[in-house]
Each structure stands twice: as structure tokens, then as C-alpha cells.
Amino acid sequence: MSTPFSDGTRSVHAGLPAPAVGEPFLPGPVFAAPYHLDPATGPGEHGYARTEHPTRELLEAAIGELEGGPALAFSSGQAAITALLLAVLRSGDTVALPADGYFTVRAFAESFLRDLGVTTVLVPTAGPYPDLTGVRLVLLETPANPGLDVCDVRAVAAQAHRAGALVAVDNTTATPLGQNPLALGADLVVASGTKALTGHSDVLLGYVAATDPELLGRVETWRKQTGAVPGAFDCWLAHRSIATLDLRLARQSRNAEALASLLVSRTDVTGVRWPGLPADPSFAVASAQMRRIPGVVSFDLGTAERVARFLDAARLVFAATSFGGVHTTADRRAQWGDDTSPGFVRFSCGIEDTADLIADVTAALDASR
């Protein structure tokens, strides 16, 4: 959509084909692997689903409109970030990764990338950032998962570009309605669409977006040759779900604000982080850089046993390891290998009524003491 409509309108109309009499607003998924070919000239617009697919292309158009640059969809967020790293990095390169970001990315770098001759430098999201001379790629995750620190994308991108490095931003937690890293100077955006972008806990999806055709072309070639594409039905579900992104984020953010306010008022909860709190260390940067603060809050209940009691007592909080969905979820990150304390909780606010959620969390916290 070329007209600068607001986020809600853009979400509803993103990637839809031009209206055609007798056709649905969003065409149903095309379940096909091969397509008819012209016997003389070969493939037309579509030849084989691994390389091009109409349902996937509509989803990519939707994501691209929201991110501000052409996008490629992948079978998961990890598939997307793996494609980015392997398409950009070569033996002898150095990559800077967030020390407090998604732990699987660090594990991949410290095993497979290291074996390929790529050196990893770990940098806290909030900085300070070292001299980036000699670094090929700087990967940022902001807000970081799960600690929710925020970095100044524009400042880090300027520093990286002066040193000759590319900048990629993991936009999973923020979503493209929370911030647009490409507009802030990033070269690439990568995200897990499994989380808030699609928001119904029924799709595995990832994507990479970039404004440089050559750079995105390298990622696309990698995808074509490795086959890490999402299925037609997943693409259709994701595209359908994006229409309500603005509405879902609004309620999730409102619930997160109420939850964070509750948690900081209690003496039996520590380490509360939500970048929308004025006292949060990331508040100033987040307020200047982000259009909205996501519905994820982190805090510490002291022990693994208390986290278990809290989750057992809560009626509206599901114990689950994803975030950004319409159902409120929480998990103890140490059980998955994150470098966090035993009682650290990542809490993802759903779209339940705010008063109901706060009452339920209050009662569960009281019962868990």
C-alpha cells in the first residue's frame, strides 16, 4: 500500500491482491508442488513450489509492506536466521552477536559457524559496543529475548557502517508495528513469525527482509538451494492472522503495562523488566525508537519451585515456551538453557481482559509465596 495509512489499516490490507469480482479477499492456499509448464518456453510465473509459490508470495508481500522492504518467508525463525548468517558470512569473517539474545543463535555460532571458520564476538544488547573494525556482520536483537534490553539501532548501525560491517536486526519481539529497523539504518531484518506477528500459536514461520536486492538475492539463493520454505497452509494462516496484528498488540501492550505496574509494587518479585516502564533502564531508547512496547515482561520469583507454584496456581497463564500469542503464557528460561537465574520468568501477555489477567496473576503470586 503506497498511501501512508495507519498501522491497523495497513495490517488488514497488507499483501492482498487487487479486488476481482467473484474472488475472495485473500485467496485460499494453493496446494501444489509442480505447475503446468509451457512445452516450448518452460515455466511461467510459477514452476516449482520450492522456488516460487503464489500463497507464499502474498504473505511475503504483506510482511514486506509492514517491514519496509522486500521479504522472504522461511519455515521457522531459526531457519531464517540460519539462512541470513550462512548467506552473508564466509570463513575468516567475524560476526557480533547479542550476548543476551536468543540462546540458540549463540549455540549455532559457537558450533557450526566456528567449524566453518567464523569468529564470534558477544556484545550485550545495551552495550557498550566495541570497535567493530574487521567485523563482517553485527546482529542485534532489540528488545532482547528474554531480558528485554534495548539498543539504539540507528547509532549502532552508523558505527557498524563506518567500520564496513553489515547490520541485521532480529525484530521478533517488537514486530514491524513496534519498530522498523530498515528505516533506522539496518541492512537486514530477521524475525520469527511464530510469535506475535501471527499470534495464534498455530504456525512456525520466519522471514528475512532487506532493501538491497543483491543482499536479499543471496539469501533467496540460499533458500532455493536448501529448501527451507514454509508450507502453503502455514503461509495462508500467517497472512490471515496479520490482519489482526494491530488489535492484538494493543491489548497485549496494555496488559503488559498493567502487569509490570503490579509486579514493581510487590516486595516478593524482583528484576522486573518492561521497556515501557519509566524506571526501566531501556525506557529512554525504547520511547525514542519504538512505536509501541511489546507485551512481554520479565521478572524473577527467586526459585524454580516458586515459579512452578505460581504457574500451577494461575488459571489464565499457560506454561509454554513461546511468546506473543493471544493466550497469556510464561516459562522459566533456565530450564531451556538460557543463562538466567533459576527463578527468572519470561511472561507473555495475551489478549485476555486486563482486569481478569491482573487478578489472576495477583492471586497466583500470593498462593506461590
CA distance 185 to 167: 8
Q: Is 266 found in the same domain as 121?
A: no
Which domain does 87 fall in, by range?
7-242
Tell how many helices (H) and how many strands (E) occur in the chain.
12, 12
Supply the mean pLDDT for the chain: 97
Query: pLDDT tens digits for 261-285?
Result: 999 999 999 999 999 999 999 999 9
Q: Is 284 found in the same domain as 231?
A: no
CA distance 135 to 164: 8
Does residue 2 form part of some domain?
A: no
Side by side, the strands of the sheet bearing 137-141 are: 71-74, 206-210, 188-192, 166-170, 137-141, 94-98, 119-123
Tell me if 32 sits within 8 A of 211, measured CB to CB: no
Mean pLDDT calculated for residue range 333-341: 89
Hey, which residues does 270 pair with through a beta bridge?
Answer: 300
pLDDT of residue 354: 98
The answer on pLDDT for 42 being more than 90 is no
Tell me if 29 sits within 8 A of 235, measured CB to CB: yes
Strand bridging mode 188-192 / 206-210: antiparallel
Q: Is 364 found in the same domain as 215?
A: no
Query: pLDDT tens digits for 82-108?
Result: 999 999 999 999 999 999 999 999 999
Q: Is 15 found in the same domain as 132?
A: yes
Q: Is 236 found in the same domain as 297?
A: no
Q: What percent of the chain has pLDDT over 90?
A: 96
Q: Which of 25, 27, 45, 47 is nearest to 36 (CA)?
A: 47
Q: Is 277 found in the same domain as 215?
A: no
Tell me if 122 sits within 8 A of 144, measured CB to CB: no
CA distance 251 to 228: 33
- Write down which residue in 242, 258, 287 finishes a domain: 242
**CATH number reported for the structural domain that contains residue 318 in this entry:** 3.90.1150.10
> What are 216's three cell numbers?
536479499
Count: domains in the chain: 2
**CATH number reported for the structural domain that contains residue 167 in this entry:** 3.40.640.10
Query: pLDDT tens digits for 118-139?
Result: 999 999 999 999 999 999 999 9
Q: What percent of the chain has pLDDT over 70?
A: 99
- Write down which residue in 202, 223, 242 finishes a domain: 242
Q: Is 136 found in the same domain as 101?
A: yes
Q: Is 127 found in the same domain as 86?
A: yes
The answer on pLDDT for 217 being more than 60 is yes
Q: Is 96 found in the same domain as 39?
A: yes
Strand bridging mode 270-273 / 206-210: unpaired
Q: Is 320 found in the same domain as 200?
A: no
Does residue 1 form part of some domain?
A: no
Strand bridging mode 296-300 / 270-273: antiparallel
Please report, in angstroms and rounded to a whole number, the separation of the first and last CA atoms in the chain: 52
pLDDT of residue 248: 98
Report DSSP letters for 21-54, one per residue: TTS-SSPPP---SB---BTTTB--S-SBTTT--H
Tell me if 88 sits within 8 A of 166, measured CB to CB: yes
